Amino acid sequence: MDISHIEHLGIAVKSIEEQLPYYEGVLGLKCYNIEVVEDQKVKTAFFKVGQTKIELLEPTSPDSTIAKFIEKKGEGIHHIAFSVQDGVANALAEMESKGVQLIDKAPRGGAEGLSIAFLHPKSTGSVLTEL
């Protein structure tokens, strides 16, 4: 698998609006996109930090996985996403052949029109990992 860089860090927040003063006002980053991803029941806000992005994830429903994450662990870093150069489907096949437990057996649509898939934290040192 050819990982080129960290595509983004996903951070679970209760409210994107409440975090904007920190990310924009304090850190001086610019939110360039806010998007609802219906099937994941999240609202996302993106900031560029060099080649990497920060993705704030706000639950849009109490049964969203992000809502459950915040309930259990509180707000904070939720996942790391690697950019893979040879395609998500190829990377998934390789991960599976290496015995990595997959959450997504096939790529699906994520924010920003990207093809994504998640690996299970059981196989990734407890860090939810997105390709």
CA–CA separation, 43 vs 13, rounded Å?
10
CA 101 from centre of chain? 18
Cβ of residue 44: shortest distance to Co ion, in angstroms?
8
Cβ of residue 70: shortest distance to Co ion, in angstroms?
16
Cβ atoms of 39 and 32 within 8 Å: the answer is: no
CA–CA separation, 92 vs 33, rounded Å?
28
CA 41 from centre of chain? 13
Of 62 and 131, CB closest to Co ion: 131
Cβ of residue 1: shortest distance to Co ion, in angstroms?
17
- Contact residues toward Co ion (CB under 5 A) are 10, 81, 130
Residue type at position 117: A
Cβ of residue 62: shortest distance to Co ion, in angstroms?
20
Residue nearest to Co ion (CB): 10
Cβ atoms of 84 and 2 within 8 Å: the answer is: yes
Cβ atoms of 37 and 111 within 8 Å: the answer is: yes
